[in-house]
Structure 1
Amino acid sequence: MDQFISDFLVGKNFQQLATNFVPHYTTLVSKVGGIISPENLGRIQAALKEANLKDVADIIEESLMAAENAPLDVAVIGESGTGKSSFINALRGVSYEEEGFAGVGVVETTMKKTPYQHPKYLNVTFWDLPGTGTPNFHPREYLEMVEFATYDFFIIISSSRFTLNDAFLAQNIKEIGKKFYFVRTKVDNDLYNEEKSKPTSFKRERVLQQIRDNCLANLSHIGVPEPRIFLVSNFDLDDFDFPILEETLLKELPVHKRYTFVLLLPNLSDASIEMKRAFLKEKIWLDALKSSALSFIPFMACFDGFDLPQQEKCLNLYQSHFGLDENSVKETAKKLGMSVEEIKSFTKSLNFWLLVKDDSIIARAMNCVECYCSVNGGLPSTLFQFLKIYILHLKFINTVADDAKILLVDAYGVTDVHGGGCSSDLLLV
């Protein structure tokens, strides 16, 4: 049981709880940040000092609602043929010719801005914007046509050299106060061609550094100061700079948009799975703290009963976040030439009843209730149910995340979960 929640429930001094709140919260969040903004952390701390528990609950609820419902609009721009549409398909986890697949071709296939909704997270939209290197491109008209100010951030893509048009767009994005990131695609093709042409002298890291240096020099020459460049392959997102791009985007997004973005990231590495685990565990903790605050307010309903269908629905949601929902498992089994039963044989999170009937959860909840009763007296059954659900949800998250890693390593044959070694055709389910 979390020590801060335990202290809260037994009615520990609220001045001390206020002092401990921010330091304890920072130990729970991902390295890229959390769900609560610094401003709201300060508001919660101030409310705790005043023992204003209604405000504590309201601020947490406000923050969680903002995080869960935040719309996210991502613009992907660049010259035609650079891999914009392939990049969007990869981020959305959509395979070739599936429903909703963004059109890919050697000629300009995007003649107007085209929205592609994420199949699981409907408040996330990727916008495939028209290519900038065609006769149809007119800078001023382009800015007006694509409605620049409506997007959260921009990814400027090139498969060779960035152009003056890219520099022009970057400058205008900067002027409206939005973030932009340069992505150099098709790096795997460059490595393949270099190795074929120079088999004896080929060195992967040297070639990658040459590509990076070339991009930096190119962008500096056309007027982009201190550009940040990410080398990626649309067919191996776990390789090259994509994990660094993920972390950078998460750190620089507004706080209330991080939760939305982290959930849609493909489970391509140990790092991405751990980031999801951290955000979901943080949300469980915040929900528990909110319920704990409400428990001190007379006539406020704060603890739900242990409703099995509701708990199963919760597990299904976590499974969906990590690519372990029923449809994803079936698709994965099909692509790997395995049966669903085989996948179930080396995972634990697909057996709801096994998780729910775990006696250790009940034992831990009872220990917490006994500690509470030794201070406050009585045996409130609602508190027992609350603790049982809190501990169970943490178990759900940890088991599902661990299973996602098992699939990543064992089923997909990944030799290094931090990058490389597998095909994105298998992983992007």
Structure 2
Amino acid sequence: MDKFISAFLKDASAKNFQQLAVELLPHYSTLISKAGGMLSPETLSCIQKALQEGKLTDMVNHIQEALTATENAALDIAVIGGSGAGKSSFINALRGLSHEAEESADVGIVETTMHKTPYQHPKFPQVTFWDLPGTGTPNFLPDTYLEKVGFDNYDFFIIISSSRFSLNDAVLAQKIKDVGKKFYFVRTKVDSDLYNESKTKPKTFRKEMTLQQIRHYCMENLINSGVSGPRIFLISNFDQADFDFPKLKETLLKELPEHKRHALALLLPNISEASIEMKRQFLKEKIWLEALKSAAVSFVPFMTFLSGFDLPQQEQCLKDYRNYFGLDDKSIEEIAEKLDTSVKDIRGSLKCLDFWSLVKDDSIAAKAANCVQSFYAIRGGPESSVIQGIKVYFLRLKFLDTVSYDAKHLLTKMETVNIA
């Protein structure tokens, strides 16, 4: 059991609450990913103050408000670029779709976007990618561009180019900055550039040197156009584990408002073990917050410790985790096709598909029993509810760890096949 929550349950005294309030921030910092957590400094401060003063109802309310904000957060991402820049391919990559999928963004060598076009994520409908036309056309001049596309509707802007960034891109970036929005320059198709360079200069070709030249060329062009300290991410839409894609992902997460990080973290593809682990950390943080809220509720008179976690809810929880990590039934079929193997073989290698073996694990009940022994000394505590709450905590962690382990296992298999 989490040490902080265990300490909370063992001693429900004013003195202990004050000590826990001191330990809250250091402990929370160990739970979150390097991209940050779901709680803002203001919310953390409110939770800490409520705990210090023993106002557990206020503490519960602050945690619940943060969880609700996270679950209901909408995310709107604007992607800007001209024809052939790789804008639609970028959107499809983040949505986990092939270009031939029915709901994919149109990809072509001619301009396919003449007006703003929304594309919802197929698994996370609260997340929308907006395919926006490039600037400089008669209908979308830099001076009026943001007003025409409705800049207030977007959380951040990604400006894409497959060669050099234009003066119009630089002007637009400055206008985005002036209205207080974040923007990022993304240089696509670097895999094609590297391939072409290696073929034309086989003796002198050096990958890192070529990448540095591309980055320097883009940066110099933007600086000369008036952009101060531009951040440029070199990516390939077809190889998201390479180049700057992981760095772009981490940067976006760090710079989003706390309550919106969770939505972006869950939709990002499993491009590496680090990305899977980051996703696991976000979900583990949420489990911890729910457990802390339930622990606090157990000491508030006339409040229920737990709303319930019956078998249908348990099955849905496991299903949600599988969905987050790309292990839902449809994704498994796609993975089997990529690996040129049967769906049966893939399913046979995954532990997260055996729901009953997970929920019947005796170790979960044993852990819950051990953790709750000290709770019996607390006056007025609903012991049975506490036991159930702790069992839920361990069961969710069991689901999460099993699914993330399977995701890493499949990723390794896919990387092995690609290398071969």
C-alpha distance in 2, partners of 1:137/1:374? Answer: 70
Confirm or deny that 1:204 pairs with 2:207. Answer: yes
Offset of residue 135 of structure 1: 5.2
Q: Deviations over 1:200-252 (max 9, x none)?
A: 11111111111111111111111111000000001111110000000101111
Q: Deviations over 1:364-406 (max 9, x none)?
A: 1111122322565998222211111100101111111111100
Confirm or deny that 1:387 pairs with 2:390. Answer: yes
Matches within 5 A, 1:44-193: 44-134=47-137, 136-193=139-196
Verify the 8 A CA contact 2:136 2:142 in the aligned structure 1.
Answer: no
Q: Larger deviation: 210-219 or 341-350?
A: 341-350
1:281 corresponds to: 284
C-alpha distance in 2, partners of 1:37/1:379? Answer: 32
> Secondary structure at 1:155's aligned position in 2?
strand
TM-score (norm 2): 0.96
C-alpha distance in 1, partners of 2:59/2:381? Answer: 26
C-alpha distance in 2, partners of 1:249/1:43? Answer: 26
Verify the 8 A CA contact 1:78 1:133 in the aligned structure 2.
Answer: no
Verify the 8 A CA contact 2:57 2:297 in the aligned structure 1.
Answer: yes
User: Which letter maps to 2:162?
Assistant: S
2:346 corresponds to: 343
Q: Larger deviation: 404-413 or 155-164?
A: 404-413
User: Which letter maps to 1:189?
Assistant: S
Unaligned runs of 5+ in 2: none
> Secondary structure at 2:416's aligned position in 1?
coil
1:295 corresponds to: 298
| Identity in percent | 64
Q: Larger deviation: 317-326 or 301-310?
A: 301-310
1:366 corresponds to: 369
Confirm or deny that 1:223 pairs with 2:226. Answer: yes
2:2 corresponds to: 2
C-alpha distance in 1, partners of 2:113/2:366? Answer: 58
> Secondary structure at 1:230's aligned position in 2?
strand
C-alpha distance in 1, partners of 2:303/2:378? Answer: 22
Unaligned runs of 5+ in 1: 416-420, 423-429
Q: CA RMSD in A?
A: 1.7
User: Which letter maps to 2:165?
Assistant: F
Matches within 5 A, 1:305-344: 305-344=308-347
Verify the 8 A CA contact 1:79 1:134 in the aligned structure 2.
Answer: no
How many pairs align? 417
Offset of residue 134 of structure 1: 4.1
C-alpha distance in 1, partners of 2:244/2:414? Answer: 24
Verify the 8 A CA contact 1:108 1:131 in the aligned structure 2.
Answer: no
Offset of residue 139 of structure 1: 2.2
TM-score (norm 1): 0.94
Return structure 1 stretches of 4+ with deviation > 3 angstroms.
133-137, 374-379
C-alpha distance in 1, partners of 2:258/2:383? Answer: 37
Q: Deviations over 1:96-153 (max 9, x none)?
A: 2212111111111101010001111111110000122545442234332211222110
Offset of residue 304 of structure 1: 3.9
Offset of residue 305 of structure 1: 4.2
Distance 1:360 1:224, change over 3 A: same
